[in-house]
Amino acid sequence: MSLVLCLAVTGLCFSLLEKQIRRRPVFFYLFFVLLSLLSIFLPKQLTVPPLAYLVNRLLRRGVLAGSMFLWVMYAIVLPQKSRLQRVMMTLRAQIAIGASILTLAHNIAYGQRYFVLLFTNAGKLKSYELIASCFSLAMILLLLPLTVTSFQVVRRKMNAKRWKQLQRFSYLFYGLLYLHICFIYTGGLRKGKSEYLVQFALYTLLYGIYLMLRLTKAFLKKPLPTAPDYAAKRAARRRKVICLHGAISLLMLLVLLFAFRTVQAGKQGSADTAQVQSTSAAESANSASSASESASKAEDTGAAPACGSGIAAAVPDGEYEGKGVGYNGNIKVKVSVACGKITAIEILKTDDDEEYFYDAKKQVVNAILEQQTTEVDAASGATSSSDGIMKAVKNALQP
Ligand code: HEM
């Protein structure tokens, strides 16, 4: 639960370091610049587990930045006069600037794939990836002026009314951020990944609750008429607030139900694909073993063996393990060979992001099995994972 961890750690750090951050925000920003640079320039194949988790999961995937934006959002709706609200309201601008700096690493990590395809070959992006990329672009465009005007020096030079008007666009940013996550997670949900459902449910709850609290606050801020209408108007307003909460809760429930059904359908689809693959693997193994039998018969009769002619042609029957380097680290595979033919490829280990690896695995493994060579086309946008699988298979078959 990376998001919960980030929310807890950042909440604690901001509470403990409130004075220091307020007095010397430059050091705070420099710290995030350093974190961003580290995650941009550190090699992708990190082997030290805590560092790999920090860089690959929390920084490059945008979880830390996302949790900081959540604090910025929640600052205004946290219980009034609580210590946490005071801290978050005081540090709101600094946290927003820190989060924007952190998104740089995330933008570079994922922009390399999505933006490159968006501007060069948009047809290769799935529809939900295309929409998510467009939202990301809009978010970046919004974030630039919002971040620049969050600096005290800039804010002081601006007209207060204009500053407030500009900062209202942050609500649009939050909305786009939630939609960005929704569309980006669609891939994982459609593949039946329950972990995506849990993360998605968490984001939906956090954004939904925020929407309820924020609208209630805005609604209750409106002045009420004085007596004699006061009590009736107050009761009517309360009823409206209850209706508003009910409507948002219902919307959240529908979104979650839809996500749940998407995951169930994805699981069913994956089970069907796995069945088809295992049937074709079994058929391939059968044909290889009958070829093996006829080969040994041929050998007995002095004729040339009729085995496979691909990369595994000279490899004795058996199972072999091999390694290759993917996007985030080593990929380990188990390759089964029967009568000079690759009959199955199993991925034993990978650190690559599920989102990319799934495409690479599906395309490259099938292509190797069909063509009996490791020189097959890489999956578009998942070149490193594809190359890693090809190299691992090649490595497994080497004597
Ligand atoms: C202002 C800019 C951006 C912000 C604030 C942002 C924020 C986020 C957040 C909070 C997540 C969810 C992380 C999680 O809990 O799993 C996320 C996921 C993701 N974002 Fe962004 N994002 C931004 C821009 C981009 C851009 C430009 C791209 C690529 C074009 C992108 C691609 C992705 C992808 C692929 C994921 C899914 C990561 C995964 O879980 O595997 N984002 N983003």
Pocket-testing residue among 106, 115, 353, ligand 1, by greatest number of atoms within 8 A of Cβ: 106
Percent of the chain with pLDDT over 70: 87
* Dist CA 70 CA 63 (whole Å): 10
pLDDT in the model for residue 287:
61
Is residue 133 within 6 Å of ligand 1 at its C-beta?
yes
Pocket-testing residue among 117, 183, 184, ligand 1, by greatest number of atoms within 8 A of Cβ: 184
Is residue 175 within 6 Å of ligand 1 at its C-beta?
no
Atom of ligand 1 nearest to the CA of 118: 30
Is residue 381 within 6 Å of ligand 1 at its C-beta?
no
Q: Among residues 96, 94, 105, which one has the least CA distance to residue 38? A: 105
Residue whose Cα lies nearest atom 8 of ligand 1: it is 62
Q: What is the pLDDT of residues 323-349, one digit of tens each?
A: 988 776 788 999 999 888 899 999 988
Length of the chain: 399
Pocket-testing residue among 70, 73, 136, ligand 1, by greatest number of atoms within 8 A of Cβ: 136
CATH of 308-397, one of 3.90.1010.20, 3.40.1190.10, 3.40.50.800, 3.30.365.10: 3.90.1010.20
Is residue 129 within 6 Å of ligand 1 at its C-beta?
no
Ligand 1 center to 295 CA (angstroms): 54
Atom of ligand 1 nearest to the CA of 66: 10
Is residue 388 within 6 Å of ligand 1 at its C-beta?
no
Atom of ligand 1 nearest to the CA of 140: 1
Atom of ligand 1 nearest to the CA of 67: 10
Mean per-residue pLDDT for 100-116?
A: 88
Q: Both tokens of residue 126? A: 């799935």
Beta bridge partners of 330: 325
Q: What is the pLDDT of residues 250-276, one digit of tens each?
A: 999 999 999 999 999 988 876 666 565
Residue 54 pLDDT > 90: no
Which whole-number Å values give the CA distances from 126 to 108, 110, 122, 238, 360, in the listed order? 20, 15, 9, 44, 15
Is residue 191 within 6 Å of ligand 1 at its C-beta?
no
pLDDT in the model for residue 46:
64
Q: What is the pLDDT of residues 347-392, one digit of tens each?
A: 988 877 766 777 788 889 988 998 889 988 887 667 778 888 999 9
* Dist CA 132 CA 247 (whole Å): 26
Is residue 118 within 6 Å of ligand 1 at its C-beta?
no
Question: Which class for 142: exposed (0-12), middle (13-18), buried (19 or more C-beta within 10 A)?
Answer: middle
Cis omega (within 30 of 0) on the bond before 316?
no
Residue 304 pLDDT > 50: no
Atom of ligand 1 nearest to the CA of 142: 1
Beta bridge partners of 347: 333
In angstroms, how far is CA 238 from the centroid of its own chain?
A: 39
Residues 6+ apart with CB under 8 A from 337: 312, 315, 316, 317, 318, 319, 320, 343, 397
Residues 6+ apart with CB under 8 A from 4: 202
Residue 289 pLDDT > 90: no
Q: What ranges do the domains of the chain cover?
A: 2-190, 308-397
Is residue 56 within 6 Å of ligand 1 at its C-beta?
no
